[in-house]
């Protein structure tokens, strides 16, 4: 026993003769005499601090409903200030109702007296005893079972009548004012009994009776469709809510919608996939008999939390799957084809942003990288806002055929040139299923996601490369400022990277200094409107030409140095030098 646990200390003080064994306190029930029981039953209190029912008590003699410490104190008229978790400022106004003088209490006794042996046997088949039926005041009117919807003042003003052989044949009886949705909670008094504790919400009265037989705290809604009317304020003082509904898509959808409203405190009890349609707790009780209690507690332990976090089991499985993927062939194919670049970055993974001067060859560099990856059957989406689809294909054909654009268009090719051109055309045609160019200037993050989903499905690939040319020309619809728009897009790229295993190559502009010139030193601050680039980029690179892009330097002197200026996993520094392969729209990585 934990002598520092306030709940344990409270019960020990109130029940000094009690014994504790295996985290269960037992004592003579102090409520049996209050309820005129001839024999004093045994009271049990669950004290396992890791259990959702920590502090829950009940009488094994079913002399009265159980509850948690605050209800225990109310029953014995103990000062609530002595109870762990008591809040003197708690407002219970949400449950205040003006109740009428007239009620159905006396009629319930008449209905209860009309219960037949056949009906009692029917309930007994599901393990529901006559004691529980009497405690819940279930009766019979000669044709319909009568379930009393006793309100929080302890009186009954309405009942739901259900035909024993046709559950869809129902009607409400009593004061019409209490037929409305707010009063359709069977065993509503349980809400106060379970203050600061746990509660199970089920669909249908019979399912609740099976849980009451086990001594578990529960309320029921007539159907799962009624969940929409159960206001979250009614459950404000309940710490944990378990939800169990019948095994139908409609009921399970209603339970999930209700859970989404209620939030973190919900745990959904799920049926195994092998369970028949419409399966419920009553059927489980009939089938399992003496094993029913064990089955129910197994379902409760396996209940899934409805939270913003993935389950620990799912997180570990996802981690293991990702490790396996990163060791597989698909991950290894995410390489640019430039040896030094792949060595410096460990392949093309995450968000890779490259800045450079105008005319330095940024688009040319990424077109070559993207098409070479597509040739290796890596699915690539190229979002182009600079060059146009025709120019991208044309430059790729030039590079593959080693023929200039003017030569291709001339129509006067030698046999050897014509063979190279035909081979290049075949290669371009073969890579196009893996290389999709998009020039839609109404692009949105959701549309980008749909493009990625389609191409991954079409190519049956684990990874996708997305090229954006360029970041500063992405559509900024609904964004008041370009800087704000860039940062918002970067947030979206981060989410897409993580959710869909997408790698990005993104072109960015560099900013001019006060003198109108570009900084010759590669640094992160050189990115135009850098904003969140330094936080979003897994790798930030700068392509600096060692020649004047606007001058007439000889072809063999047109070199570009590629620098890694920031990285999450790699050290910054020069990656390599790349010579412009003029006039074939490509680059060659230089040795040394």
pLDDT digits (tens, 9 = 90+) for 117-145: 999 999 999 999 999 999 999 999 999 99
Q: Say what the pLDDT of residue 93 is.
A: 56
Residue 92 is assigned to a structural domain of this protein: no
Please list, in sequence order, all residues whose beta carbon lies within 8 angstroms of the beta carbon of residue 321, skipping any fewer than 6 positions away: none
Tokens of 397: 């054909």
Query: CATH number for the domain including 261?
Result: 3.40.1360.10
Span 401-453, pLDDT tens digits: 999 999 999 988 999 999 999 999 999 999 999 999 999 888 999 999 999 99
CB 211 within 8 A of CB 178: no
Give alpha helix (H) positions in 15-129.
69-75, 105-113, 117-124
Q: Within this chain, do residues 118 and 39 fall inside the same structural domain, yes or no?
A: no
- Under the banding of pLDDT at 50, 70 and 90, the label for residue 475 is confident
Span 544-578, pLDDT tens digits: 988 776 666 666 678 899 999 999 999 999 999 99
Expressed as residue numbers, the domain containing 29 is 6-82
Q: Within this chain, do residues 65 and 112 fall inside the same structural domain, yes or no?
A: no
Residue 292 is assigned to a structural domain of this protein: yes
Residue 579 is assigned to a structural domain of this protein: yes
Q: Within this chain, do residues 287 and 354 fall inside the same structural domain, yes or no?
A: no
Residue 396 is assigned to a structural domain of this protein: yes
**C-alpha closest to that of 183 among 236, 224, 244, 229:** 229
Residue 94 is assigned to a structural domain of this protein: no
| Structure-derived torsion over alpha carbons of residues 261, 263, 269, 274, reported in degrees to the nearest 10 | 70
Q: Within this chain, do residues 214 and 251 fall inside the same structural domain, yes or no?
A: yes
CB 468 within 8 A of CB 335: no
d(CA 111, CA 299): 34
- Under the banding of pLDDT at 50, 70 and 90, the label for residue 347 is very high
Q: Say what the pLDDT of residue 556 is.
A: 65
Tokens of 139: 């009766």
DSSP code for 495 = H
Q: Within this chain, do residues 265 and 226 fall inside the same structural domain, yes or no?
A: yes
Q: Say what the pLDDT of residue 139 is.
A: 97
Q: Within this chain, do residues 461 and 398 fall inside the same structural domain, yes or no?
A: yes
Q: From the centroid of its chain, how far is CA 259?
A: 12
Do the strands 166-174 and 156-163 form a parallel or antiparallel pair, or are they unpaired? Answer: antiparallel
Q: Within this chain, do residues 299 and 150 fall inside the same structural domain, yes or no?
A: yes
Give the DSSP H/E element, type plus range, for residue 314. helix 312-326
- Under the banding of pLDDT at 50, 70 and 90, the label for residue 313 is confident
d(CA 543, CA 438): 24
The number of helix segments (H) and strand segments (E) in the chain equals 20, 22
Instruction: Please give the residue that has the higher pLDDT: either 227 or 551.
Output: 227
Q: Say what the pLDDT of residue 479 is.
A: 47
Residue 160 pairs in a beta bridge with: 147, 172
Residue 480 is assigned to a structural domain of this protein: yes
CB 435 within 8 A of CB 382: yes
d(CA 532, CA 448): 20
Residue 529 is assigned to a structural domain of this protein: yes
Cα angle, residue 98 at apex, residues 96 and 103 outer, rounded to 5°? 115
Is pLDDT of 16 > 60? Answer: yes
Query: What is the value of pTM for the model shown?
Result: 0.62
Instruction: Please give the residue that has the higher pLDDT: either 534 or 64.
Output: 64
Q: Within this chain, do residues 166 and 78 fall inside the same structural domain, yes or no?
A: no
- Specify which of 78-92, 326-340, 433-447, 476-490 reaches the highest per-range mean pLDDT: 433-447
Name the percent of the chain lying above pLDDT 90: 73
Q: How many domains does the chain contain in total? A: 3
Q: Within this chain, do residues 206 and 342 fall inside the same structural domain, yes or no?
A: no
Is pLDDT of 308 > 90? Answer: no
Q: Say what the pLDDT of residue 349 is.
A: 94
Mean of the per-residue pLDDT values of the chain: 90
Do the strands 559-567 and 539-545 form a parallel or antiparallel pair, or are they unpaired? Answer: antiparallel
Residues in the chain: 592
Query: CATH number for the domain including 357?
Result: 3.40.50.300
- Under the banding of pLDDT at 50, 70 and 90, the label for residue 356 is confident
């Amino acid at each position: 026993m934990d002598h520092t646990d306030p709940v344990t200390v409270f019960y020990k003080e109130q029940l000094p003769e009690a014994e504790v064994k295996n985290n269960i306190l037992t004592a003579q029930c102090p409520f049996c005499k209050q309820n005129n029981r001839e024999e004093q039953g045994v009271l049990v209190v669950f004290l396992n601090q890791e259990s959702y029912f920590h502090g829950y008590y009940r009488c094994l003699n079913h002399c009265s409903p159980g509850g948690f410490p605050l209800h225990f104190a109310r029953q014995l008229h103990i000062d609530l200030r002595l109870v762990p978790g008591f809040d003197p400022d708690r407002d219970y106004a949400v449950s205040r109702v003006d109740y009428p003088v007239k009620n159905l209490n006396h009629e319930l006794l008449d209905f209860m007296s009309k219960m037949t042996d056949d009906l009692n046997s029917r309930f007994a088949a599901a393990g529901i005893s006559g004691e529980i039926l009497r405690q819940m005041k279930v009766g019979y009117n000669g044709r319909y079972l009568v379930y009393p919807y006793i309100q929080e003042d302890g009186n009954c003003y309405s009942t739901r009548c259900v035909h024993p052989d046709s559950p869809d044949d129902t009607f409400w009886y009593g004061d019409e004012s209490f037929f409305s949705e707010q009063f359709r909670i069977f065993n509503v008094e349980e809400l106060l009994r379970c203050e600061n504790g746990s509660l199970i919400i089920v669909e249908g009265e019979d399912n609740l009776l099976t849980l009451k037989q086990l001594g578990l705290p529960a309320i029921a809604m007539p159907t799962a469709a009624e969940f929409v009317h159960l206001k979250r304020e009614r459950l404000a003082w309940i710490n944990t809510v378990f939800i169990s509904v019948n095994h139908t898509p409609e009921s399970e959808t209603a339970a999930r919608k209700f859970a989404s409203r209620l939030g973190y405190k919900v745990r959904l009890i799920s049926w195994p996939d092998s369970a028949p349609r419409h399966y419920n707790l009553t059927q489980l009780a009939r089938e399992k008999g003496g094993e029913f209690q064990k089955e129910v507690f197994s379902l409760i332990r396996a209940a899934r939390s409805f939270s913003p976090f993935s389950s620990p089991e799912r997180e570990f499985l996802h981690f293991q799957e990702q490790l396996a993927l990163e060791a597989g062939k698909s991950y290894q194919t995410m390489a640019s084809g430039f040896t030094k670049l792949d060595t410096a970055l460990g392949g093309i993974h995450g968000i890779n942003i490259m800045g450079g001067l105008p005319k330095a060859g940024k688009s040319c560099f990424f077109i070559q990288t993207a098409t070479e990856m597509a040739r290796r059957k890596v699915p690539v989406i190229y979002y182009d806002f600079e060059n146009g689809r025709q120019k991208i294909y044309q430059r790729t054909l030039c590079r593959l055929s080693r023929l200039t654009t003017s030569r291709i268009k001339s129509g006067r090719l030698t046999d050897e040139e014509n063979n190279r051109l035909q081979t290049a055309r075949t290669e371009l045609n073969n890579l196009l299923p893996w290389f999709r160019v998009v020039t839609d200037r109404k692009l949105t993050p959701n549309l980008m996601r749909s493009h990625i989903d389609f191409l991954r499905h079409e190519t049956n690939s684990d990874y996708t490369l997305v090229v954006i040319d360029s970041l500063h020309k992405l559509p900024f619809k609904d964004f008041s400022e370009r800087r704000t728009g860039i940062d918002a897009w970067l947030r979206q790229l981060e989410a897409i990277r993580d959710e869909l295993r997408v790698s990005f190559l993104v072109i960015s502009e560099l900013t001019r200094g006060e003198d109108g010139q570009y900084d010759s030193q590669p640094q992160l601050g050189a990115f135009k409107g850098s904003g969140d680039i330094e936080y979003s980029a897994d790798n930030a690179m700068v392509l600096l030409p060692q020649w004047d892009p606007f001058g007439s330097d000889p072809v063999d002197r047109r070199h570009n140095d590629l620098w890694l200026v920031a990285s999450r996993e790699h050290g910054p520094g020069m990656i390599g030098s790349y010579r412009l392969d003029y006039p074939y729209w490509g680059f060659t990585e230089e040795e040394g």
